[in-house]
Amino acid sequence: MPVRRLPLLAVAVLAALAMACGGSTKRPPAITQGAPPPPGPGPGDYGGPRPQPVDSGPDVVPLGGEGLSSSDFDVSGEDGEGGPLADVLFGYDQADLSDEARALVERHAVWLQAHREAKVTIEGHCDERGTVEYNLALGELRAKAVRDLLVSLGVDGSRLRVVSYGKERPLDPGNNESAWARNRRAHLAVRR
């Protein structure tokens, strides 16, 4: 092969790989620790103003909740698999909280206010589709969306830790939509 055709062949191979890997997959924004959030709508937005952090206080005011209390939780699973706080589920390629997910996080905030000694690691998880890097970034956005809402509801941010596992720790090892839906989650692991 003549030397002059080698760069052209390399460009053609790279272009083919980019087309095969790229597709129309959305990429999450780059995540920089300590950087302010980008302006405009982002993960966790729900049509209103961005939630502002609040000092933790004795009461949590649910977003439109009607008299939720710590007795709304079955804490019998506190020492077992899953713990007292249910997983928050997300849509495909999404890091924003649905109405159902927001209501669940509100109940978690009430429980956390009633159990002030508890600390939580919020784990972001994804399904198996997408690259490792993409899913790590998306998992972090999911965990941060839950953390940000908890803080806006009065939970002390120093009690919350965020970690992303991306697609590395699936809850359901299946390779179908049902398994993928269970794996797109933020898991709240309670620790003392």
What tokens does 78 get?
Answer: 């506190």
Question: Could you tell me if residue 118 is inside a domain?
Answer: yes
From CA 185, how far away is CA 178, in angstroms rounded? 13
CATH code (residue 178): 3.30.1330.60
Both tokens assigned to 118: 């508890």
18 within some domain: no
Contacts of 25 (CB under 8 A, 6+ apart): 93, 130, 134
User: How large is the greatest C-alpha to C-alpha distance in the chain, in angstroms?
Assistant: 78
Range of the structural domain that residue 190 is part of: 85-192
Closest CA to 88 of 76, 79, 97: 97
Within a domain: 52: no
**Integer-rounded Cα radius of gyration of the chain:** 20
Question: What are 133-191's pLDDT values in tens digits?
Answer: 999 999 999 999 999 999 999 999 999 999 999 999 999 999 999 999 999 999 999 98
The total domain count for the chain is: 1
* 2 in any annotated domain: no
The tokens describing 137, both together, are: 């970034």
> What mean pLDDT is reported for the chain?
74
User: Which carries the bigger pLDDT value, residue 133 or residue 7?
Assistant: 133
**What band does 12 get if pLDDT is binned at 50, 70 and 90?**
low
Q: Tokens 């989650």, residue?
A: 185
Helix, strand or coil for residue 61?
Answer: coil
Is the pLDDT at 79 greater than 70, yes or no?
Answer: no
Specify if 48 maps to a domain.
no
Helix 132-152 × helix 99-114 angle, to 10°: 60
Mean pLDDT of 12-20: 49
Structure tokens at 67: 């008299």
Non-local (6+) Cβ contacts of 100 within 8 A are: none
Does the residue 113 lie in any domain? yes
CB 149 within 8 A of CB 96: no
